[in-house]
Amino acid sequence: MNKLGKLIAAGFTAALLSTSAMAQDIAVRGAQVWTMGPAGVIENGVVVIEDGRITAVGSADTVTIPTGMAVLEAPVVTPGLIDAHSTVGLTGYLNQSDDQDQLDDSAPVQPQLRAVDAYNPHDRLVQWVRELGTTTLHTGHGPGALVSGQTMVVKTTGNTADAALVEDGTMVVANLGSWALDREGAPGTRAKQMSMLRQALVAAQNALDSEEGEGPRDLAQEAFVSVLRGERPLLVTAHRSQDIQSALRLADEFDIEVIIDGAADAHMMLDELREAGVSVILHPTMARNEGELENAAFTTAGLLAEAGIPFALQSGYEAYVPKTRVVLWEAGFAVGHGLSPEDALASVTIDAARVIGMEERIGSLEVGKDGDVAMFDGDPFEYTTHVTGVVIEGEQVSDTPR
């Protein structure tokens, strides 16, 4: 039995002890605390959070909980889960035209569109994924256009988009393949997609190299210039092997950081991906194997881990209700198809944080990091296990078993 299955439940219950829902100073005790950091798994562990940050992590006999501090308990404690690529907050759960802001199809290339301008922190899906352990979203514009906009990183709490925001303009989103083609306009073919992308990057390169000084601002060009400067990656959704190859070719041509998103054919290109040194945000394990994803495999996550290719799991974009998947369940399904429980948890915690450039702040339970915690009444990847509580930056945001 793996470590996640060997729960020491004596003396612990799944119920959360009483605490104020807005407490900023809080301690979380677990029969097992999976830190996902250097401390590994701590039996009978404690995480102390003060002013929203972790101030102590260790076994109960070495960590002193300050007098009067609220305490929560659960059999298993992990870092808050991270969805490495999502459209939650832009794709509303009602699935109606007035709450679908992940795509503007008025032009094929719009890198200037900011996710923060469309994010709705009160959408029911934000609450839903939060109650299932997701504390951080890398969310933004989705597929359907060659360059659909930008992404951002948010916590799944906050009354406004600005209050939830961790980082604005995290990546520029490009999409290759059939779902970003316009057979009646442009781009109408894969070659045209790449030509238009190259032309946009060349125009930005010319502006970057120009010695004319300041001129009129061009928001689209500024977005591409930031990619050329290495200030943010180009996130390229590419499922088919030919599109993945095109994305890798583009990265080499312009010496830019490209992150491959989706990557249904990744299991066919392990050597190429490893040689290129790129990270992959893999499609949801249970995504429907049709269209661009006809070659998707349940085993791809395990193969990426075995090949040493950095990757994270995601909820992705869903065109149908409920509009999003849940990374906890996607990781659990990957465990059933070759991914180790340790790597599965990493793919939605510390490895996800690394892929989106947030590992200094989130992804593991370490002193100095955000006090984001998920609590479970058993092995997180067992079907019968519940998320019993969620803490974000020291605030208990959920105490209802889900």
* 3-class secondary-structure state, position 278: coil
Q: Distance between CA atoms of 352 and 342, rounded to whole angstroms?
A: 13
Q: Distance between CA atoms of 133 and 327, rounded to whole angstroms?
A: 9
Which of these, 58, 64, 150, lies nearest to 104 by C-alpha position?
150
Please list the alpha-helical segments (H only) found in 319-399: 327-335, 341-347, 350-355
Q: Distance between CA atoms of 256 and 244, rounded to whole angstroms?
A: 15
pTM of the model: 0.93
pLDDT, position 14: 36
- Residue 5's pLDDT band (boundaries 50, 70, 90)? low
Q: How far apart are the first and last CA of the chain?
A: 24
Distance of CA 38 to the CA centre of its chain: 22
Which of these, 29, 130, 15, 21, lies nearest to 396 by C-alpha position?
21
Domains of the chain: 3-79+364-398 (2.30.40.10), 81-355 (3.20.20.140)
Angstrom distances, CA of residue 273 to CA of 72, 208, 244, 249, 307: 43, 29, 9, 11, 10
pLDDT, position 195: 97
User: How many CB atoms sit inside 10 A of residue 74's CB?
Assistant: 28
Q: Which helix (H) or strand (E) holds 346?
A: helix 341-347
Q: Distance between CA atoms of 224 and 153, rounded to whole angstroms?
A: 19
Decide if pLDDT at 373 tops 90: yes
Average pLDDT over residues 70-99: 97
Rounded to 5°, the CA angle 287-196-233 comes to: 60
Angstrom distances, CA of residue 293 to CA of 135, 171, 268, 316, 326: 28, 23, 13, 13, 19
Phi, psi (deg, nearest 5) at residue 9: -95, -10
- Residue 385's pLDDT band (boundaries 50, 70, 90)? very high
Please list the alpha-helical segments (H only) found in 138-240: 161-164, 190-209, 219-228
pLDDT tens per residue, range 307-364: 999 999 999 999 988 999 999 999 999 999 999 999 999 999 999 999 999 999 999 9
Q: Distance between CA atoms of 190 and 196, rounded to whole angstroms?
A: 10
Q: Distance between CA atoms of 367 and 240, rounded to whole angstroms?
A: 41
Share of the chain above pLDDT 90, in %: 89
Q: In this structure, are residues 104 and 150 in contact, taking their beta carbons and an 8 Å threshold?
A: no
Q: Which helix (H) or strand (E) holds 391?
A: strand 387-392
Average pLDDT over residues 7-19: 38
pLDDT, position 201: 97
Take residue 84 and report the two structure tokens written for it.
């490495």
Which of these, 402, 390, 393, lies nearest to 77 by C-alpha position?
390
pLDDT tens per residue, range 101-143: 999 999 999 999 999 999 999 999 999 999 999 999 999 999 9
pLDDT tens per residue, range 243-281: 999 999 999 999 999 999 999 999 999 999 999 999 999
pLDDT, position 345: 98
What is the pLDDT of the chain when averaged over all its residues? 93
The residues, any chain, with a CB within 8 Å of residue 338's CB and separated by 6 or more, are 298, 299, 301, 302, 303
Q: In this structure, are residues 73 and 390 in contact, taking their beta carbons and an 8 Å threshold?
A: no
Q: In this structure, are residues 50 and 25 in contact, taking their beta carbons and an 8 Å threshold?
A: yes
Decide if pLDDT at 183 tops 90: no
